[in-house]
Structure 1
Amino acid sequence: GLKAGYDDVVARHPKAGHPRGLGHLGTLGTGNHFIELCLDEAGDVWVMLHSGSRGVGNRFGTYFIERAKYEMRRWYINLPDEDLAYFAEGSEGFIDYVRAVSWAQKYALANREVMMDQVLAVLKRTFPDLVTTQHAVNCHHNYVSREKHFGKDVYLTRKGAVSAKDGELGIIPGSMGARSFIVRGRGNPDSFCTCSHGAGRAMSRNEAKRRFTMADHIAATAGVECRKDEGVIDETPMAYKDIDAVMAAQSDLVDIVHTLRQVVCVKG
């Protein structure tokens, strides 16, 4: 099903195609993407991973942004900033973009499912008695969703954020050396039933590389089996906001179900 959907998008928009197409399925990616083994407050093991649609979704987005800018010029619509370009709802560009982004979200979901199956298979080879006792929590964090808010049907974009509908489970990661949280949404209407996806960066990657040393990174990730080299300085815990402050700021959006601490962190 994934291949047919991808082929349909690219058939209509050949320049939206990615060189690897579906070849990234089951791969982690770079930057802030990770696979972690964590322990909760009871000592139970959790496998947590963060990845998305890989380069395909990014390619789709970049392509349709340029198409939207073209449409603005074509119809002589002058905007205060060209990055505010849009497709009118119901237009061909709008329909094709929604179709493409919906496919990218399905691909991201499948990508995480494939990786989770692979990680569990590796663990079971070492720990043959391992059993899973919780349902997987699989949530998007950069996506578009058709929802109803304040009495209106809308397309809601969550950027660096996850859905936190009443009773809905979500994941809020910290950083390589900070705690992470499994949460349950409180359905706060003022946030469009949304909470943060994670701690969020406190500074740019370049600033982190300038400011912190390997000694800083090693100290900040003490007790965590992870990369401790120059290549991940931009992902060091100090480059992110204080996750406890972030959680305190959204106590009206979610309830904490489990608090997790990493013991292994694999960065892409």
Structure 2
Amino acid sequence: MTSSYEVLHQQGQHPIKAWTRGVSFDENSRQQLLNIAGLPFIHKWIAVMPDVHLGKGATIGSVIPTVGAVIPAAVGVDLGCGMMATKTSLTAAHLPDSLTALRSEIEKRVPHGRVANFKGRDTGSWGQAPEDVVQAWLPLSEGFQRLCEKHPCLKNTNNLNHLGTLGTGNHFIEICLDEADAVWVMLHSGSRGVGNRIGTHFIELAKKDMERWFIHLPDKDLAYIPEGSEHFKNYLEAVGWAQDFALANRVIMMNNVLSAMRDVLPVPFSAELEAVNCHHNYISREHHYDKNVLVTRKGAVSAKLGEMGIIPGSMGAKSFIVRGLGNEESFCSCSHGAGRVMSRTQAKKLVSLAQHIQATAGVECRKDEAVIDETPSAYKPIDAVMAAQADLVEIVHTLKQVVCVKG
């Protein structure tokens, strides 16, 4: 299959291969990528996914292979953020006409959103973690203690009380139907408060090192940690732990959603007939083009040959279960979603509540002004995104949500 990317290249820099044909690719994102391409430790080139859009420091929808250094802001602060999807034995015929009770029960079982209340707990966290969460924390606790000994600022973070919680922004839980009317559960979240603090801490350390070593960068958020330096092993250890936390976080939420469904729906069912749990904000040690490299995927999913992944559309749009084609030119990667075309502020200014309600017709979800920043038109058309990466993944299932829970 012929490659479907365009190449950006400035003299003296590494190339940028962008799978962006037929989708928007704004100038600010291009410039941000060119800034990264000028760094000396990039391996071969940067791969850009069709959901590309401006991020802090590094572009969301980018795959950045490096040798001898890592850029903490390129990994970001939602470490290990990703998706989980599970197919059930249910079909559309098993679902009631009204899905309001099901959405309400899921919202009760999974803490979501964030309402800071100085007299009580944040409603997006556990007041007292239930037993399943405590048990899931046990394998993580020893590693967390080691991190706290090295980095005392992590001790008073939201850690155990955020395990098994959804968060805010573009994080979601959905009940979907596939092309054969089978019912799926799909959710999106990461390492929550503790991962955010880990990411922020190391971004700050990297910036201080750049100042101390008189290294001038086109963007301060591209501050990097060289291999062999004081913080390199500590950073990889902390990110690895946050990625484990994120995987466990999604498993707990999935179990609680399935439990809510069993209590609301009158028919017994099985789950995990097909299940995928994948990161899309993370670091991975991989081998590409005769080199052992660190691959940073910021808003991108691993798509090795035969590897299963999830590419969600916006609330109200389709999502896809995909199988990787192992395209080495993308460092075996694909997009992590549709990608924003409007900032959250723009969406709230440009999209009316009536337009949002119309765009989410047929979906049991919030239809209030507080979620307009997540409305479908704030994102690129998911069909165009999928067409642009036809040489990276093949579609296995097409999902359409009928319930969407937002933070």
The TM-score bracket by the shorter chain reads over 0.9
Q: In the alignment, what sits opposite 1:90?
A: 228
Are the counterparts in 2 of residues 38 and 46 from structure 1 also a CA contact under 8 Å? yes
Distance 1:104 1:240 in 2: 28
Match of 1:103 in 2: 241
Which residue in the other structure is 2:336 paired with?
A: 197
Is the Cα–Cα contact under 8 Å of residues 157 and 193 in structure 2 kept in the other structure? no
- Per mean C-alpha deviation after superposition, the further-off stretch among 51-60 and 248-257 is 51-60
Distance in 1, Cα, partners of 2:250 & 2:288: 29
Q: Report the Cα distance in structure 1 between the residues aligned to 2:158 and 2:221, rounded to whole angstroms.
A: 27
Q: Show the counterpart of 1:112.
A: 250
Q: Which structure exhibits the higher relative contact order, with contacts defined as CA atoms closer than 8 Å and separated by 6 or more residues?
A: 2
* CA displacement at 1:81 relative to structure 2: 3.1
Q: 1:147 maps to what in 2?
A: 286
For the residue of structure 2 that corresponds to 1:108, the secondary structure is helix
* Percent identical: 67
Q: Is structure 2 residue 319 aligned with structure 1 residue 177?
A: no
How has the CA–CA distance of structure 1 residues 6 and 234 changed in structure 2, closer, same or farther, with 3 Å as cutoff? same
Q: 1:223 aligns with which of 342, 345, 362?
A: 362
8 Å CA contact 2:366, 2:405 repeated in 1: yes
Output the amino acid matched with 2:166. L
Q: Is the 8 A contact 1:17 1:60 kept in 2?
A: no
**Residue 178 of structure 1 aligns to which amino acid in structure 2?**
A
The amino acid across from 1:250 in the alignment is Q
Distance in 2 (alpha carbons) for counterparts of 1:117 and 1:133: 10
More helix by share: 1
Partner residue of 1:131?
Answer: 270
Q: Report the equivalent of 1:250.
A: 389
Tell whether the 8 Å contact from 2:327 to 2:392 is kept in structure 1 after alignment.
yes
Bigger CA drift: 89-98 or 197-206?
Answer: 89-98
The CA RMSD measured in Å over matched residues stands at 1.2
**Alignment TM-score, normalising by the size of structure 1:** 0.97
Contact conserved, 2:157 with 2:197, CA < 8 A, in 1? no
Q: How many residues align?
A: 268
How far apart, CA to CA, are the structure 2 residues paired with 1:126 and 1:73? 57
After superposition, the C-alpha distances for 1:85-141 in whole angstroms (9 at most, x for unaligned) are 211112220000000000000000000000001111111223341112523100001
What's the secondary structure of 1:56's corresponding residue?
Answer: helix
Give 1:11's aligned amino acid.
E
Aligned-partner SS, 1:226: coil
Residues 49 and 116, structure 1, Cα contact 8 Å, conserved in 2: yes
Equivalents in 1 of 2:155, 2:326: separation in Å? 37
Tell me, what secondary structure is at the counterpart of 2:354?
A: helix
| CA distance in 1 between partners of 2:370 and 2:346 (Å) | 14
| Residue in 1 that maps onto 2:347 | 208
| Runs ≥4 residues deviating over 4 A | none
Aligned: 1:68 with 2:206: yes
Letter paired with 1:93: H
